[in-house]
Amino acid sequence: MPASYSGCYGMKPTHGLVPYTGVMPIETTIDHTGPMTQNVADNALLLEVIAGEDGLDPRQYAPKVDRYTSALGRGVRGLKIGVVDEGFDRPESESDVDTKVRESAEKLRELGADVEQISIPMHNEGAAIWTPIGLEGLTNQMMSGNGFGTGWEGMYSTSLLDHHANWINRADELSDTLKFCMFVGEYFLRHYRGHFYAKAQNLSRKLKETYNESLAKFDLLLMPTTPMKATPLPPADASLALY
């Protein structure tokens, strides 16, 4: 999303390919570490540099690292691309975004790729699955746990933890978006005691399986990264309605 809204090239690697060490967490199971660059070549090169095992991230299991720059200029002929129906024509979609992505799919077809429309119905449940993990996890790990919490076997950055812990003395300065997320996360934790977080984590494995079933047939899945264009930054005196 940051890359999509900023007009640069972002890579969201599979968990474990790039070490998570030293990253300020929001929620460990949904956070990613990856390069954002001005062009594809720099992205491939930077991924080569940062990918691989560092011995400090317990999520890593001997990740397979490749020479990503060797694929530059190879072309897309013979590449199998699945265009995911559920990524388009959503209630929040902007038609020009959908059109541009569909035009890109046709361009890839003209260049020799095998492009096919596919359906992944459970994709529509992704936001509902993400929300308890994101909001309860943010409240527990990033805020109450000062960025790290407990139960992590990787390296703890004590200086980062100590610095972030000062938020409690300046909570009035937190953004309205963060305050809202914390209110919702705390409500669910108090009233449902982690039930929906646990259920969402269980469902996330099923969602992952549905994507993997499609990726067993296709080299990549294509859809809009974000279904709308970037919105303008709100002014300092913006009304709560903008949130």
Res. 237: pLDDT tops 90: no
User: What radius of gyration do the chain's Cα atoms show?
Assistant: 20
The domain ranges of the chain are: 1-74, 76-227
Give the model confidence (pLDDT) of 68-123 as tens digits. Answer: 999 999 999 999 999 999 999 999 999 999 999 999 999 999 999 999 999 999 99
Q: Mean pLDDT for the chain?
A: 94
**Residue 146 main-chain phi, psi, to 5 deg:** 55, 40
Contact 68, 47 (CB under 8 A): yes
- How far is the CA of 206 from the CAs of 21, 68, 126, 159, 218, in angstroms? 27, 29, 11, 37, 19
pTM: 0.90
Six-digit token pair at 158?
A: 């004590």
pLDDT at site 243: 64
Alpha-carbon span 5 to 78, nearest angstrom: 30
Alpha-carbon span 18 to 63, nearest angstrom: 8
Six-digit token pair at 217?
A: 């047939």
Give the model confidence (pLDDT) of 193-221 as tens digits. Answer: 999 999 999 999 999 999 999 999 999 99
Contact 66, 13 (CB under 8 A): no
Burial track 126-139 (b if 16+ CB lie within 10 A, e otherwise): beebbbbbbbbbbb
% of the chain with per-residue pLDDT over 70: 100
Res. 242: pLDDT tops 90: no
Output the CA torsion 210→215→218→224 (10° steps): 70
